[in-house]
A and B are shown apart, each in its own frame.
Chain A
Amino acid sequence: GMTRPEMADETLFLLLHNEMVSGLYRAAEHGEGENGRCITKLENMGFRVGQGLIERFTKDTARFKDELDIMKFICKDFWTTVFKKQIDNLRTNHQGIYVLQDNKFRLLTQMSTGKQYLEYAPKYLAFTCGLIRGGLSNLGIKSIVTAEVSAMPACKFQVMIQKM
C-alpha cells in the first residue's frame, strides 16, 4: 500500500507491539521472568497506555452526555488516534454491553488470513483490550473487555460496563 510520511509513527508502534508480544512469549518459553501470564501482562500494559492517553486529553467528562457518548468517542476519536481508522460497527444492548467491530484490525492485518493462525490472534488482541479498559477507566467507567476473532483480520471487542 501507499506509505505516507505521517504513517511512520504508526509503523513504529506496530513493530513495537508485535515485538512486545513475541518477546514476552519467547521469554516465557525460556523460563525467564514469570511463566504463563503473557496475556495478563499484555492486557495490563495496554491498560496503562490507555489511561495515559486519556490523561493527556481533557478530564472534562462533562463534554460526554452519557455512557453511549463515551463509547462513541472510543469508537471514533480514540480508535482513530491509535489505529488510524474508526471502529466499523458499534452495537449495544443498552444494558451495559457494547460490541465494537473492526473489520480490518491493524494489529492483525500483517498476519496471514489462514485459519491456522486464528489460535495466535488472541495474543495480538490482549494489549488493545487493556487499552480500551484503561481509556474507559480514566473516563470514569469500570469495565471488562474481551475480544474475539472469527475471520482475520476482522475482530470484535466486547465491553461489559461494571457498576461501580
Chain B
Amino acid sequence: YLPFISPSASMHLMSSELFTLTYGALVTQLCKDYENDEDVNKQLDKMGYNIGVRLIEDFLARSNVGRCHDFRETADVIAKVAFKMYLGITPSITNWSPAGDEFSLILENNPLVDFVELPDNHSSLIYSNLLCGVLRGALEMVQMAVDVKFVQDTLKGDGVTEIRMKFVRRIEDNLPAGEE
C-alpha cells in the first residue's frame, strides 16, 4: 500500500506503468491462448515486429537523428536515444565482435518486468521477446536486417538482462514492410 501521494505524482506513476501493465496482461493472455512457450515467444516477436515498423516513424520524427553511418552509431542511437525515449532507461553497450557486426545491450533493470515473476511451468518463455521484434522491425525500415535475441534475463535468475544484436545484411529494396 502506498501512502497517499499528491495527484500529479500519482498520475505520473500510473502513466509510466500503463505500458508495463498492458504488456503483462498481453503475455498472460498469450500464455492462456498458446499451449507452449515457444509459440508465445513467436507471437511476441511477430507483434513486436509489427510495432517496430510503425514505431520507427515516430522515433525519427521525435529524435531528429540523421542517418547512421555504421553499426556502432546505430548501437549508440538505440541505447542512448531510443531506449531512453520509450522506456526511460539507457542500456550499456558491450561485447563488440571483432568484425563490429555484433554487440550486446545490457539492461541493469528491465522496466517491463517490474513486479513480474515467471511461474514454474513457463521456463522457456522469453517474457520481453516483444522488444526483439520491435528492434528487428524498426531497423528493417531503415534498411538493416538484424538478428536480435535475449542471452541473459533477470527473470531467469541472471544478474542482468542482455540483448544480443547482430547485423545480418543491408536491405537494398525500399519495399514497404508487410505484416507478419
A contact set with B: CB distance below 8 Å = 3, 5, 8-9, 11-13, 15-17, 19-20, 22-23, 26-27, 32-34, 41, 44-46, 48-49, 52-53, 56-60, 63, 77-78, 80-82
Interface size on B, residues (CB 8 A): 41
A43 CB to nearest chain B CB (Å): 11
Bound-state Cα–Cα, A99 to B51, Å: 32
**In the complex, A23 Cα to B54 Cα: how many Å?**
15
Judging by beta carbons under 8 Å apart, are A63 and B34 in contact?
no
A48 touches B21 (CB 8 A): yes
Q: Could you list 19 examples of A-B contacts with CB < 8 Å?
A: A3-B62, A9-B19, A13-B22, A15-B51, A15-B58, A17-B22, A20-B26, A27-B43, A45-B26, A48-B21, A48-B28, A53-B17, A56-B13, A58-B5, A58-B10, A59-B1, A77-B7, A80-B11, A81-B14
CB nearest neighbor in A for B15:
A81
Known interface pairs A32-B34, A53-B14, A80-B11; 11 further A-B residue pairs with C-beta atoms within 8 A, sorted by A's residue number: A3-B62, A5-B62, A8-B62, A12-B55, A19-B50, A34-B33, A45-B28, A46-B25, A49-B25, A52-B21, A56-B2
The 8 closest A-B pairs by CB, nearest first: A33-B33, A45-B25, A52-B21, A81-B14, A49-B21, A48-B25, A15-B51, A58-B4
> Which secondary structure dominates chain B's binding surface?
helix
Whether A11 lies near B55 (C-beta < 8 A) is: yes
Contact yes or no, A9 B23, CB < 8 A? no
Q: Say yes or no: B86 contacts A8, CB within 8 Å.
A: yes
Chain A residues with Cβ under 8 A from B15's Cβ? 9, 81-82
Q: How many angstroms from the CA of A23 to the CA of B23 in the assembled complex?
A: 13
Contacts of A12 in B (CB 8 A): 19, 55, 86
How far, in whole Å, are A33 and B3 apart by their CA atoms in the complex?
A: 41
Quick check: is B85 within 8 A (CB to CB) of the other chain? yes
Interface residues of B in 17-57 (CB under 8 A from A): 17-19, 21-26, 28-29, 32-34, 39, 43, 46-47, 50-51, 54-55
A13 with B18: CB separation less than 8 A: yes
For the complex, give the distance between the alpha carbons of A60 and B19 in Å. Answer: 24
